[in-house]
């Protein structure tokens, strides 16, 4: 099974890796915001991306490229920030959403986030890209933020889960 991890950072999940800031020798440098993925059409069974989409100013290009490199019936799996997450909108701590920390190099004082997403936003991007089915979203608390973990375990509401997971299959 061929798995592409896009925006991998330090993660080692997958068989192939791309990132704008390669941290390992096996990671191919690629700015997926504006460049095409450096792979042939229909190469991968799964395209995986975690905490990248919200950093792209051109998400549609990213979705089109994911579709291009996926095999027929291949799957995309991505995790991104949830626009409904309450703590993104309340400045309770120094590192709120507007001053988000990251393990990738920063240039200047600019925040590297462009979007917050809802499940409908993600489905709209897939509909615009075309060629996907079995589109599913769910709210997730895959976070190290202790308040988020505690609240998401005791409360079902989407406002206490900082991430959305999107999965879909290529037709």
What is the distance of C-alpha 77 from the center of its chain? 8
Distance CA 88, CA 168 (A): 26
Distance CA 137, CA 167 (A): 6
Q: Number of folded domains in the chain? A: 1
Question: Which domain does 31 fall in, by range?
Answer: 3-170
Are 159 and 86 in contact by the 8 Å Cβ rule? The answer is yes
* pLDDT one-digit tens code per residue, 38-63: 999 999 999 999 989 998 999 999 99
pLDDT value of residue 97: 47
Domain at 35, CATH number = 3.40.50.150
* pLDDT one-digit tens code per residue, 68-104: 999 999 999 999 988 777 666 665 544 444 444 444 4
Distance CA 79, CA 50 (A): 5
Q: What is the pTM of this model?
A: 0.81
């Amino acid at each position: 099974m061929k798995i592409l991890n896009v925006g991998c950072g330090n993660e080692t999940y997958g068989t192939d890796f791309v990132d704008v800031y390669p941290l390992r020798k096996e990671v191919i440098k690629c700015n997926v915001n504006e460049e095409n993925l450096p792979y042939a059409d229909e190469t991968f069974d799964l395209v995986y991306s975690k905490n990248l989409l919200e950093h792209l100013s051109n998400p549609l290009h990213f979705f089109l490229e994911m579709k291009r490199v996926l095999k027929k019936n291949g799957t995309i799996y991505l995790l991104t920030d949830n626009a409904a997450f309450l703590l993104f909108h309340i400045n309770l701590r120094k590192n709120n959403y507007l001053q988000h920390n990251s393990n990738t190099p920063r240039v200047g004082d600019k925040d590297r986030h462009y979007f917050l997403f809802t499940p409908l936003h993600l489905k709209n991007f897939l509909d615009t890209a075309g060629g996907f089915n079995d589109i599913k979203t769910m709210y997730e608390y895959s976070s190290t933020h202790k308040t988020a973990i505690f609240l998401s375990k005791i409360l079902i509401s989407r406002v206490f889960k900082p991430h959305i997971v999107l999965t879909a299959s290529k037709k």
